[in-house]
């Protein structure tokens, strides 16, 4: 058994893509917690970025610092589903370089009967 059977996937994405992302992740059992599915958390954030030479930005201009709002999406994922989840995210995500964090969760250490 993997030491971390469940991870949290955290990513930043424009609001227009959230419903599609939620539904497609739900189809592969990501965001399933107990008797609930399609469980994701959304927080609106403000970000800054500067596309460098050779970039193909979704938004912004090469060499100029841009700022904008997007959403931080957090969703639980079983370890064995992470690769499929990343494929789905990258297929939907409009950014050339999406920021995706995979964070191990420790919940099972404190709730061993589940």
Per residue in 41-96, pLDDT (tens digit) is 999 999 999 999 999 999 999 999 999 999 999 999 999 999 999 999 999 999 99
Strand, helix or coil for residue 28: coil
| Structural domains of the chain ordered from first start | 7-105 (3.30.70.120)
Strands (E), 3-114: 6-13, 41-49, 66-78, 100-104
Say if residues 71 and 45 touch (Cβ distance below 8 Å): yes
Instruction: Find residue 10's DSSP bridge partners.
Output: 74, 101
| Structure confidence by residue, pLDDT tens digits, 8-25 | 999 999 999 999 999 999
Tokens of 3: 């030491």
């Amino acid at each position: 058994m993997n030491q971390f059977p469940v991870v949290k996937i955290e990513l930043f994405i424009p609001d227009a893509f959230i419903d599609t992302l939620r539904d497609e992740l739900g189809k592969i059992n990501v965001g399933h917690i107990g008797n609930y599915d399609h469980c994701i958390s959304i927080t609106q954030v403000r970000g800054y970025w500067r596309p460098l030479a050779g970039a193909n930005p979704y938004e912004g201009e090469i060499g100029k610092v841009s700022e904008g709002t997007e959403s931080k999406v957090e969703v639980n994922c079983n370890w064995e589903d992470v690769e499929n989840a990343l494929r789905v995210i990258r297929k939907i995500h409009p950014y050339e370089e999406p920021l995706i964090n995979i964070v191990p969760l420790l919940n099972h250490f404190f709730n061993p009967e589940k």
